[in-house]
């Protein structure tokens, strides 16, 4: 078996599509080498070795060591140096690389191959003793930390001591002799900690590092991350061993990271950061403030530090060429890592870059314009969920702002929250229903749960590519990073900036688009849907079959829905209209009435209000279909809960408070979800159905007269389980329609349908369809009733069900295709048999969930209906489902 794949010198044994075998990093190093980019030579130990390692009591295949030796010899040939040679030593890095990039894996070890002898060789060969000792120092520190597990800070302390002792400010102020002395301290530290000397044999070092990569596959952090992201354990990780190039050999050296386009805005400009005379992850680690690549970016951010374009223009141009070549080759925006050694450029990594959804849209559109991808490809490139980000509010431009500091605009969107300083506090207070803003000096993978719980994230250190920035963009959380003027005091739980002290629990607002940090809660406004967004949506609309409607009852929601491209209202929950203003009083009067007459009197008060609501709604929807659901919840939901409210109501209605309490007690249900609600209630009190039908028809006719365009209303009867329930209501509605026609001389245009939200309704769809012109799958209730699971009580154990793999996902968030889905399929099929062409739709949370929308497409439903803000997500998901 071939366990090792070499790359370098313009060729490679692997290539980009071998990511499963070589891991993402290894496959792309091979690919870059193949297309002639300057990649230091190296080799990849395959993921199959990892699998073998765990299947065979942590041992390697017999052929491995021979293949590694051969591959190492190839590197030696290309570089012209020998691993372990005291005069001319080859140094390598050892890098982990799973199929999907994965935090929690072993950190990269650089400068491997150095020991007390080779370091002298390196000093002579490079003519720079300081560089050689510094490299050895870094190596001992990294190797001891990631392979031997000696704590990092112990070395940092020794380094600080040494700096203090000789009066150095920066690491770079230490001389060769200082570093040499420090090396002795480092080695002594290792001996004290481990009772063993730091390994001097380069081969032993190499196999130690390789073993550490494989071991890191099973660390707690890696295991948790895999569970969270559903990465199978069998995948394993690869190990990359690569010849070192040095960004720390002087001022003609540098190291950096870049995106081929701006990952924040998507603009087609080169965006990156670099550090002169630095190595490895110095840029990301926030040790020094990184410098920008281009003059334009430098000026844009008002940075005083010179851009790479100015400092080393030739290398910059070369890097810019690589950028264009990579984009054309991968046909996507790339995230790259590079090092410059004595004026020569080396590429160390490339992968498809993470981006904000705003950037994703702009890049996809631009790439269509540039002829790189098709419109359909552009539509497929946008993660529907990610649209959430750009549909989020911005700061109200006219609002007053008290800006106290400015950092980098790391992830767009505006957010306010109360300040917390730890991830645990963020999570705890968010669970208590508070909006929190997580403030950290910098973040690490341990903070992810807090970042998730927070409205936004503010860090005082780190650039646009820092952990906080990258993770926040991925999550769609607004983030301002590197706000260096802010002093955080974790102990006191405060931060201070320009004379202002902000305490834990104080409100602040951040604008992740500008980097501004403000005191208090600044009001926000809804986003404008820019040109590129419109283009993607247009292409999506051209590709999709499913219609997309919105769940809306208020004029604002309806307007938002239309603005977002809804093609009608799929669910107007009329009961929401009963809570507003004095309507609730009339509603309560109706509920408390002794008899039908009393109820009719109260309903007569509600009728004009309800009619006015429908008039407004129909006008906003201007001819688009509107599905109005008749009263659904149990009556006691409308009664007051607090004693004071009972007394107030008694006063308003002029009845004794005890009477009201008595009625409330009467209406109490043990299991209201399965109780007297929906069409059961309407069948008990048909006058409610009558009033609502009248309000709908009168409103429709009025709007028809005013606008010349009578809306098509769909009257929907909820919670039907028995055909007769629907038939009786149908008779009432039809009678009202005739009455209205007689009174107005105009014929209402309408359809009558039902929700399918009980398993019995799905099973009896054949007969129910006789009385229904449309079905709307109310998948919230259908999920509850199919599982026999109350949504409100399920949270206590659904989480553990997911963790233990009993359920793959929360069935209230993503439709359970197997069970609930089968009922939908049955109902659709039987309904169509009775009434070919019966209109079928879905409303409820699932209508805005891409995976569920995919199912709706497969089942051939006519439309999905979701909350207004999810309409664009649904439009895009529907397009992707049919492409």
- Given the rule CB under 5 A, which residues bind Mg ion? 337, 349
| Closest to 123 in 3D by CA, of 114, 113, 131 | 131
Eight-class DSSP state of 815: -
Q: In the bound complex, what is the minimum distance in angstroms from residue 92's beta carbon to ligand ADP? A: 7
Q: Which is nearer to ligand ADP, 339 or 509 (CB)?
A: 339
Q: Are 588 and 603 in contact (CB under 8 A)?
A: no
Q: Which helix (H) or strand (E) holds 153?
A: helix 152-166
d(CA 511, CA 517) in angstroms, rounded, equals 7
Give 23's contacts (C-beta < 8 A, 6+ positions apart).
44, 47, 96, 97, 98, 99, 237, 238, 240
Catalytic residue among 52, 365, 392, 467: 467
The verdict on whether residue 629 carries a ligand-binding annotation is yes
Direct distance between the N- and C-terminal alpha carbons of the chain, in angstroms, rounded to an integer = 40
Q: Report CA-CA distances (Å) from 721 to 113, 468, 773, 841.
A: 75, 51, 16, 18
Q: Which is nearer to ligand ADP, 8 or 704 (CB)?
A: 8
d(CA 231, CA 99) in angstroms, rounded, equals 9
Catalytic residue among 479, 843, 856, 866: 843
Instruction: For residue 742, count CB atoms less than 10 angstroms from its CB and return exposed for 0-12, middle for 13-18, buried for 19 or more.
Output: exposed
12 forms bridges with which residues in the sheet?
Answer: 7
d(CA 655, CA 755) in angstroms, rounded, equals 37
780 forms bridges with which residues in the sheet?
Answer: none
Q: In the bound complex, what is the minimum distance in angstroms from residue 108's beta carbon to ligand ADP? A: 4
- The answer to whether residue 843 is catalytic is yes
Eight-class DSSP state of 781: H
776 binds, among ligand ADP, Mg ion, none (CB under 5 to 8 A by kind): none
95 binds, among ligand ADP, Mg ion, none (CB under 5 to 8 A by kind): ligand ADP
| Closest to 628 in 3D by CA, of 517, 711, 736 | 711
Q: In the bound complex, what is the minimum distance in angstroms from residue 296's beta carbon to ligand ADP? A: 24
Q: Are 574 and 583 in contact (CB under 8 A)?
A: no
Cα torsion through 476, 482, 486, 488, rounded to 10? 70
Q: Which is nearer to Mg ion, 249 or 284 (CB)?
A: 284
Q: Are 343 and 252 in contact (CB under 8 A)?
A: yes
Q: Report CA-CA distances (Å) from 811 to 17, 739, 778.
A: 35, 44, 13
244 binds, among ligand ADP, Mg ion, none (CB under 5 to 8 A by kind): ligand ADP
DSSP-derived secondary structure for 830-853? HHHHHSTT-EEEEESGGGG-HHHH
Q: Which is nearer to ligand ADP, 337 or 425 (CB)?
A: 337
Q: Which is nearer to ligand ADP, 146 or 244 (CB)?
A: 244
Q: In the bound complex, what is the minimum distance in angstroms from residue 338's beta carbon to Mg ion? A: 11
Q: Which is nearer to ligand ADP, 278 or 592 (CB)?
A: 278
778 binds, among ligand ADP, Mg ion, none (CB under 5 to 8 A by kind): none
Give 714's contacts (C-beta < 8 A, 6+ positions apart).
625, 626, 627, 628, 750, 751, 752, 753, 773, 774
389 binds, among ligand ADP, Mg ion, none (CB under 5 to 8 A by kind): none
Q: In the bound complex, what is the minimum distance in angstroms from residue 382's beta carbon to ligand ADP? A: 26
817 binds, among Mg ion, ligand ADP, none (CB under 5 to 8 A by kind): none
The verdict on whether residue 757 carries a ligand-binding annotation is yes
d(CA 665, CA 662) in angstroms, rounded, equals 5
569 binds, among Mg ion, ligand ADP, none (CB under 5 to 8 A by kind): none
Q: In the bound complex, what is the minimum distance in angstroms from residue 95's beta carbon to Mg ion? A: 7
Contacts 24+ apart (CB under 8 A), 815-822: 815/779, 815/783, 815/846, 815/849, 815/851, 815/852, 815/855, 816/783, 816/786, 816/787, 817/855, 819/786, 819/787, 820/779, 820/782, 820/783, 820/786, 820/787, 821/855, 821/859
Give 836's contacts (C-beta < 8 A, 6+ positions apart).
none
Q: Which is nearer to ligand ADP, 465 or 524 (CB)?
A: 465
Q: In the bound complex, what is the minimum distance in angstroms from residue 269's beta carbon to Mg ion? A: 22
Q: Torsions phi, psi of 865, nearest 5?
A: -130, 135
The verdict on whether residue 778 carries a ligand-binding annotation is yes
Q: Which is nearer to Mg ion, 349 or 465 (CB)?
A: 349
Distance of CA 824 to the CA centre of its chain: 29
239 binds, among Mg ion, ligand ADP, none (CB under 5 to 8 A by kind): none
577 binds, among Mg ion, ligand ADP, none (CB under 5 to 8 A by kind): none
Q: Which is nearer to ligand ADP, 33 or 242 (CB)?
A: 242
Q: In the bound complex, what is the minimum distance in angstroms from residue 479's beta carbon to ligand ADP? A: 20
Q: Which is nearer to ligand ADP, 349 or 784 (CB)?
A: 349
Outline where 370-482 has alpha helix (H): 375-381, 387-390, 423-431, 448-453, 467-475
Q: In the bound complex, what is the minimum distance in angstroms from residue 110's beta carbon to ligand ADP? A: 6
The verdict on whether residue 781 carries a ligand-binding annotation is yes
Give 283's contacts (C-beta < 8 A, 6+ positions apart).
255, 256, 257, 273, 274, 275, 290, 463, 465
Eight-class DSSP state of 817: T
Q: Are 407 and 515 in contact (CB under 8 A)?
A: yes
- The answer to whether residue 467 is catalytic is yes
| Closest to 613 in 3D by CA, of 702, 502, 726 | 702
40 binds, among ligand ADP, Mg ion, none (CB under 5 to 8 A by kind): ligand ADP
Which residues of this chain interact with ligand ADP, rule CB under 6 A? 40, 93, 95, 108, 110, 242-245, 255, 280-281, 337, 339, 348-349
| Closest to 609 in 3D by CA, of 639, 633, 592, 585 | 585
Q: In the bound complex, what is the minimum distance in angstroms from residue 225's beta carbon to Mg ion? A: 13
The verdict on whether residue 780 carries a ligand-binding annotation is yes
Degrees to nearest 5, angle at CA 459 with 455 and 460:
150
Q: Which is nearer to ligand ADP, 247 or 721 (CB)?
A: 247
333 binds, among ligand ADP, Mg ion, none (CB under 5 to 8 A by kind): none
Degrees to nearest 5, angle at CA 74 with 69 and 80:
115
Q: In the bound complex, what is the minimum distance in angstroms from residue 843's beta carbon to ligand ADP? A: 44
Residue number of the CB atom closest to Mg ion: 349
Eight-class DSSP state of 235: G
Q: Residues at the annotated binding site for Mg(2+)?
A: 757, 781
Q: Residues at the annotated binding site?
A: 573, 629, 757, 778-781
Q: Residues at the annotated binding site for substrate?
A: 573, 629, 757, 778-781
* Residues designated catalytic: 467, 843
């Amino acid at each position: 078996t071939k366990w090792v794949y070499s790359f370098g010198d313009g060729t490679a044994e692997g290539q980009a599509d071998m990511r499963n075998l070589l891991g993402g990093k290894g496959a792309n190093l091979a690919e870059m080498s193949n297309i002639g980019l300057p990649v230091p030579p190296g080799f990849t130990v395959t993921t199959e070795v990892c699998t073998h390692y765990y299947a065979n009591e942590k041992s390697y295949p017999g052929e491995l060591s021979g293949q590694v030796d051969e591959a190492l010899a190839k590197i030696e040939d290309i570089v012209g140096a020998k691993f372990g040679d005291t005069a001319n030593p080859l140094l390598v890095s050892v890098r982990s690389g799973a199929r999907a990039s994965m935090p929690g894996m072993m950190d990269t070890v650089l400068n491997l191959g150095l020991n007390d002898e080779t370091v002298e060789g390196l000093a002579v060969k490079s003519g720079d003793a300081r560089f050689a000792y510094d490299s050895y120092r870094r190596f001992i520190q990294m190797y001891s930390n990631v392979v031997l597990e000696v704590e990092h800070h112990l070395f940092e302390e020794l380094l600080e001591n040494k700096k203090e002792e000789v009066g150095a400010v920066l690491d770079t102020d230490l001389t060769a002799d200082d570093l040499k002395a420090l090396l002795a301290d480092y080695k002594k530290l290792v001996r004290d900690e481990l009772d063993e000397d730091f390994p001097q044999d380069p081969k032993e070092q190499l196999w130690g590092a390789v073993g550490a990569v494989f071991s890191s596959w099973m660390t707690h952090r890696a295991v948790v991350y895999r569970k969270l992201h559903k990465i199978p354990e069998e995948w394993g990780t690869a190990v990359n061993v690569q010849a070192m190039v040095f960004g720390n050999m002087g001022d003609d050296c540098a190291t950096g990271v870049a995106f081929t386009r701006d990952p924040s805005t998507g603009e087609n400009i080169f965006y990156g950061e670099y550090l002169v005379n630095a190595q490895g992850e110095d840029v990301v680690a926030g040790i020094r403030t990184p410098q920008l690549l281009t003059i334009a970016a430098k000026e844009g951010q008002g940075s005083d530090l010179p851009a790479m374009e100015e400092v080393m223009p030739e290398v910059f141009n070369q890097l810019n060429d690589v950028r264009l070549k990579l984009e054309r080759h991968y046909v996507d925006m790339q995230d790259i890592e590079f090092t410059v050694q004595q004026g020569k450029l080396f590429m160390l990594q490339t992968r498809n870059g993470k981006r904000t959804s705003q950037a994703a849209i702009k890049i996809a559109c631009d790439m269509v314009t540039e002829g790189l991808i098709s419109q359909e490809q552009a539509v497929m490139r946008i993660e529907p969920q990610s649209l959430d980000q750009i549909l989020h509010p911005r700061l109200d431009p006219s609002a007053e702002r008290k800006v106290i500091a400015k950092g980098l605009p790391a992830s767009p969107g505006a957010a306010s929250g109360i300040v917390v300083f730890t991830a645990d506090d963020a999570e705890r207070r968010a669970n208590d229903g508070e909006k929190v803003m997580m403030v950290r000096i910098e973040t690490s993978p341990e903070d992810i749960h807090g970042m998730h719980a927070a409205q936004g994230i503010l860090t005082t250190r780190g650039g646009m590519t820092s952990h906080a920035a990258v993770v926040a963009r991925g999550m769609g959380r607004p983030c301002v990073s590197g706000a260096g003027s802010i002093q955080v005091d974790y102990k006191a739980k405060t931060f201070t900036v320009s004379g202002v002290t902000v305490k834990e629990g104080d409100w602040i607002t951040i604008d992740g688009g500008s980097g501004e940090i403000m005191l208090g809660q600044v009001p926000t406004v809804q986003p404008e849907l820019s040109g590129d967004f419109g283009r993607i949506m247009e292409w999506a609309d051209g590709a999709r079959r499913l219609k997309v409607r919105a769940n809306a009852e208020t004029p604002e929601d309806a307007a938002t829905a239309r603005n977002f491209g809804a093609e009608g209202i799929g669910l107007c929950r009329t009961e929401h209209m009963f809570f507003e203003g004095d309507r609730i009083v009339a509603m309560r009067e109706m509920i408390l009435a002794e008899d039908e007459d009393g109820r009719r009197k109260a309903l007569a008060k509600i009728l004009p209000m309800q009619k006015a609501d429908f008039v407004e709604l129909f006008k906003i929807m201007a001819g688009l279909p509107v599905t109005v659901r008749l009263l659904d919840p149990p009556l006691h939901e409308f009664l007051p809960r607090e004693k004071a409210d009972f007394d107030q109501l008694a006063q308003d209605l002029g009845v004794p408070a005890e009477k009201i309490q008595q009625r409330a007690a009467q209406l109490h249900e043990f299991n209201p979800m399965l109780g007297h609600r929906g069409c059961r209630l309407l069948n008990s009190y048909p006058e409610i159905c009558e009033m609502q039908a009248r309000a709908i028809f009168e409103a429709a006719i009025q709007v028809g007269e005013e606008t010349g365009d009578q809306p098509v209303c769909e009257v929907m009867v909820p919670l039907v389980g028995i055909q007769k329930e629907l038939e009786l209501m149908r008779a009432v509605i039809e009678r009202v329609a005739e009455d209205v026609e007689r009174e107005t001389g105009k014929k209402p245009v309408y359809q009558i349908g039902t929700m399918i939200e009980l398993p019995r309704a799905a099973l009896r769809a054949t007969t129910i369809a006789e009385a229904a012109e449309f079905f709307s799958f109310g998948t919230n209730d259908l999920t509850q009733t199919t599982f026999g699971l109350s949504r409100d009580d399920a949270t206590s154990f659904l989480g553990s069900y997911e963790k233990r793999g009993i359920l793959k996902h929360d069935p209230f968030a993503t439709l359970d295709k197997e069970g609930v889905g089968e009922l939908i399929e049955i109902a659709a099929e039987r309904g169509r048999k009775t009434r070919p062409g019966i209109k079928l739709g879905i409303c409820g949370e699932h209508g805005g969930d891409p995976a569920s929308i995919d199912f709706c497409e497969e089942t051939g439903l006519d439309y999905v209906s979701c909350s207004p803000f999810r309409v664009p997500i649904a439009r895009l998901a529907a397009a992707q489902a049919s492409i």
